[in-house]
Amino acid sequence: MRSSLIRRLRVAVGVLLGFLSVVVELILTLASGLWLLLTLGRSGVGRSESGVVARAARRWADVQRRRMARWYGAEIAPPTSGASALAFVATRWPVGLLGGMVLLCALIGGGYASLLLWGWAAVDLSRWPMTMGVSGFGGLFLLFLAAQGVGAVALMDERLARHFLGPSARQRMQRRIGELAESRAGVVEAVHDERRRIERDLHDGVQQRLVALGMLLGRARRTPDPKKSAALLRQAHEESQQALVELREVAWRVYPAALDEGGLAAALETVAERAAIPVRLDCELRASPPPTAQAVAYFVAAEAVTNAVKHSGASLVTVRADGAEGVLRLRVEDDGRGGADPSGGGLLGLTRRVAALDGTFSVASPAGGPTVITAELPCV
């Protein structure tokens, strides 16, 4: 309720500033008309781009774009040409005037509605009961309509700017298609990297230990000395145990069973327990995020903690996970020396994983530390 009221007040301030802008826009519109008349008959090539009025219109359109970004939260592209800026300025002033009329209606409605609060002390209700009641409730109704009108004017303002300045619906769709194509390529590359890592772990770790195990068993079977045979069998047993441990580690890195059994909090606890340095865990999740978001958050935390242990020289890592407004946020901070490269293989893979869910991923790691890795994952 409070955030909605603040949002409406912000929009109302934006509409008011848009109304106050009408004077400048009318002057620019008249000036552009005179300028076109004076330059009539001249070469049209670049005429609308090099004139003083066109440059002023571009600056003013940029001011309006920033106003909408500040008060409406609308993303409007900067003007790309003087012609589009002039067209925007010449057509925006009626919207600004409409916004002023709506705000005036809101002011009048608010004044009459307030009679229900203070009118009983200033007016003799025994003489004007019906008039006071009708005026008060009529003012409330007018205030309600004006509040809806303010939002509609802001929407008209935004759509007008988007029509002339962009990005248009087609441009947004093209940009979205580009983002999806890029994220798809990133996911394919991340899966390829993960497959190669698993193959490398199996080949260099588990496979080598199984080969050594086979050789030890072969030597134990061929040796005639019972004592040497027993020693070889003991070594073979140790190799089999170590191979089993490494095989479990590989399986754990592929997908931790704790995610299915206890959720993200339990999986992060295992990450903290396996780390070679202290990990402080703060997990505040009121609702269980989707499994895909939990899996990505787990891999981000596991990779970040592993990097901190191997490369940062940190003595403490803090992992914080929380969720609000449909977004799962994960923050991993260490007190190491910093200098982490976001374009490195591990962090780049995490960026692709997060991008696959339309999330955001950032790495802040100045020289001297600390390193802060943040991932925001939409829970849809």
Clarify whether residues 239 and 96 are in a common domain.
no
Q: With respect to residue 256, please indicate whether it lies within any of the assigned structural domains.
A: no
Alpha carbons within 13 angstroms on the beta-carbon side of residue 276 total 9
Clarify whether residues 118 and 235 are in a common domain.
no
The count of structural domains within the chain is 3
pLDDT value of position 188: 80
Whole-model pTM over 0.75 = no
| The pLDDT of residue 124 is above 70 | no
| The pLDDT of residue 319 is above 90 | yes
pLDDT value of position 374: 93
| The pLDDT of residue 46 is above 70 | no
Clarify whether residues 161 and 187 are in a common domain.
no
Neighbours of 340 (CB within 10 A): 23
E-strand stretches of 126-285: 279-284
Contact present, 264 and 321 (Cβ < 8 Å): yes
Percent of the chain with pLDDT over 90: 25
Q: Cα 13 vs. chain centroid, distance in angstroms?
A: 26
Neighbours of 307 (CB within 10 A): 22
Each residue of 163-203: pLDDT tens digit? 888 777 777 788 888 888 887 887 787 778 778 888 888 88
Burial classification of residue 225, based on how many CB atoms lie within 10 Å of its CB (0-12 exposed, 13-18 middle, 19 or more buried): exposed
Clarify whether residues 4 and 130 are in a common domain.
yes
Give the CATH number, domain containing residue 232.
1.20.5
Average pLDDT over all residues of the chain: 85
Clarify whether residues 28 and 150 are in a common domain.
yes
